[in-house]
Amino acid sequence: PSPRRWAVELGGQDRRGHRATIGTGATARARAAEPEPALRKGTIRELLREAHPDHGGDLADAADRIKELTEARTILLRRLEAAPRTRSQLATTLRERSIPDDVARSVLDRFEEVGLVDDAAFARAWVESRQSGKGLAPRALAQELRRKGVPDDVAREALEVVDEQAQRDAARSLVRRKLRS
């Protein structure tokens, strides 16, 4: 084999001093066996601590719990990648995917803690978008938010920003359109 190939297989440098980045042979097998960077040292300890805070129980149970937690996180991140969602919508998604309720609650709590799930922010954005775009009245907006799973008190708070004048203008615009037809 060429010096380049040896360097690549050994994960070193070729004769020109370039770092070998192409993984072939033993290097590729070794890299495939390495844990992903996200699952090294601290993260694994964190997951174990989260899975079994009392450090009791079977190690297999802890491994199953970690698998469920990571699966739930992956599902939620994919859903949130597409569009913002409410906690209720995400909980429904996890339930449909057969994620245990305690795991779902734990992951959703953590997502709320770090700000990835925020029903109040969702409600404010929804109200602003739907009111300015479609001119919906507060009652219709409240109904939509309820269907999305936003708690009533959070929806009321978000609806407080709806401007009376904007409502009147939207109503006049609607009447004008209807009168034309």
At residue 13, φ and ψ (nearest 5 deg) are -120, 155
DSSP state of 116: S
What are 87's two structure tokens?
Answer: 């906690």
Residues 6+ apart with CB under 8 A from 174: 135
pLDDT in tens, the chain (181 residues): 444 444 444 444 445 555 444 444 444 444 444 444 444 445 656 666 666 566 555 566 777 888 889 999 999 999 989 888 999 999 999 999 999 999 999 999 999 998 899 999 989 888 888 877 777 778 888 899 999 999 999 988 888 877 777 777 777 887 888 888 7
pLDDT of residue 100: 92
Estimate the crossing angle of helix 59-82 against helix 87-96, to 10 degrees: 130
At residue 130, φ and ψ (nearest 5 deg) are -75, -35
Q: Tell me how far CA of residue 71 lies from CA of 74, 148, 170, 181, in angstroms.
A: 5, 23, 45, 53
DSSP state of 138: H
**Pair 144, 130: CB distance under 8 Å:** yes
Q: Tell me how far CA of residue 171 lies from CA of 95, 128, 131, 180, in angstroms.
A: 40, 17, 12, 14
Q: Distance (Å, rounded) from C-alpha 117 to C-alpha 105?
A: 12
